[in-house]
Amino acid sequence: MSDATRYPINWPASLMFLLTTLPVVFALPWYLWTHDVSAAAWGWAVLLLAANGMSITAGYHRLWAHRAYKAHPIVKWFFAIFGGMAVQNSILYWATGHRNHHRHVDDRDEDPYAATRGFWYSHMGWMLRDYPSSQLDFKRVPDLLDDKVVMFQDKHYHWFAFAPNLIIPIGLGLLYGDIWGFVLVAGFLRLVVSHHFTFFINSLAHIWGRRPYTTTNTARDNDFLAFFTWGEGYHNYHHIFQYDYRNGIRWWQWDPTKWLIAGLARVGLTRDLKRVPEVKIQQARVTRELERTHAALQARPHTRSVAEIKEQMDAEWDHFKDTVAQWADVQSARFDAAREQIKSQWENSDIKHKIDALQVEQAFREQLTRLQAMQRQLALA
């Protein structure tokens, strides 16, 4: 008997997936072949897909699961409505389960959607049966229990899930004179696509991509997935710095969720946006490059050129330790200044701290460049 068959089927979730997928697989192809679907139906499908997707990423995920920023009640209600329309459970269940995922990432017994149990399980198999890892302890989430929007949506979740999915597509269909086109495209197809785009974060984003920040878990950065998941594809970064409101930290990285949150901050609808200091990001990258270079050295036969690179590597380790110690001193001086309330003195001022932090950050950047050059040198050795 397989591991899965030991647990009862989760019939509500299984039936929901079945009843939303069947029309897309069977009815939609026939309808597209025999009817002209209005451009408005496709346009609204994309708009609703974006509203659902970013209500999950900006709302369920970065606001409620990770508390990466604070939001005005208007924003919360928007996310509660369109997140409910995405039919991925209530905010309370979603955010609590996701915190368990981060707390126990990759643990086969504790992580609700552990990628170590395979693609299918992490993609959606974990929802089809009542696995023990899906049992939630709400005593660990007092902030969610105190949030009136979260608790109202949880109490009336079925209305949040069903009403928008019925009223909006049918209402728009009546308005544009294309009821079945809207129901099939802006209704069922949009919902199925929304589901799998989100599920890719739990599955593909843990098996496909690069790990520039950490190898302590399976999460990957993947620019291609970021495009389809509203910026959530930079998953290796997210798993090491989960409280950052950004996933794509560079200006050129596709993260519309980040842009939405930052844009709302400009008009006063979001605030207290959390960002990881750049120096900590660079420290993580250097640590990862040191590990990568060390592994490459271990895999190469001992030659004179490899021995020379190993000596350089030993020096880089020492330099890294010195830079980390320097950063610790900078932080200690800052805390001492705050505690003693002598920020006006140059040696301990906030301006001095920022300059010192920039110097440490630059030291990490320079070391990263040297390590990458060493890897190229090693490849030719």
pLDDT in tens, 119-157: 999 999 999 999 999 999 999 999 999 999 999 999 999
Q: Decide: 190 and 52 in contact? Cβ < 8 Å.
A: yes
Give the pLDDT of residue 346: 47
pLDDT at 317 (0 to 100): 62
Of 371 and 1, more confident:
371
Percentage of the chain beyond pLDDT 70 is 81
Whether pTM exceeds 0.85: yes
Domains of the chain, residue spans: 4-271, 278-380
Q: How far is Cα 374 from Cα 309, in angstroms, rounded to an integer?
A: 7
Using one digit for the tens of pLDDT, what is the confidence trace for 154-176? 999 999 999 999 999 999 999 99
The SS3 assignment for 294 reads helix
pLDDT beyond 50 at 179: yes
d(CA 368, CA 15): 51
DSSP state of 58: I
Q: Kindly give the interhelix angle for 73-85 and 39-54, rounded to the nearest 10 degrees.
A: 120
Cα separation, 108 vs 113, in Å, equals 8
pLDDT tens, 291-309? 877 777 676 666 666 666 6
Q: How far is CA 139 from the centre of its chain?
A: 24
Nearest to 196, CA basis, from 119, 98, 274, 311: 119
Q: Which of 142-156, 272-286, 307-321 has the lowest mean pLDDT?
A: 307-321
Mean pLDDT of the chain: 88
Q: Report which of 42, 45, 38 is spatially closest to residue 177, judged by C-alpha positions.
A: 38
Other C-beta atoms lying within 10 Å of the C-beta of residue 145? 14
Portion of the chain with pLDDT greater than 90, in percent: 71
Q: In angstroms, rounded to a whole number, what is the distance separating the alpha carbons of residues 198 and 217?
A: 19
180-194 confidence digits (pLDDT tens): 999 999 999 999 999
Who wins on pLDDT, 22 or 353?
22
Long-range interactions of 109-113: CB distance < 8 A, separation 24+? 109/133, 113/202, 113/203
pLDDT value for 371: 73
- What is the token pair recorded at 120? 């299918």
Task: Encode pLDDT of 324-368 as tens digits.
Answer: 666 666 666 665 555 555 545 545 556 666 666 677 777 777 767
**Tokens in use for 189?**
């197809």
Mean pLDDT of 89-96: 98
What is the reported pLDDT for 339?
55
Residue 271 DSSP code: E
What value does the CA radius of gyration of the chain take, rounded to a whole number of Å? 25
Contact 246, 232 (CB under 8 A): no
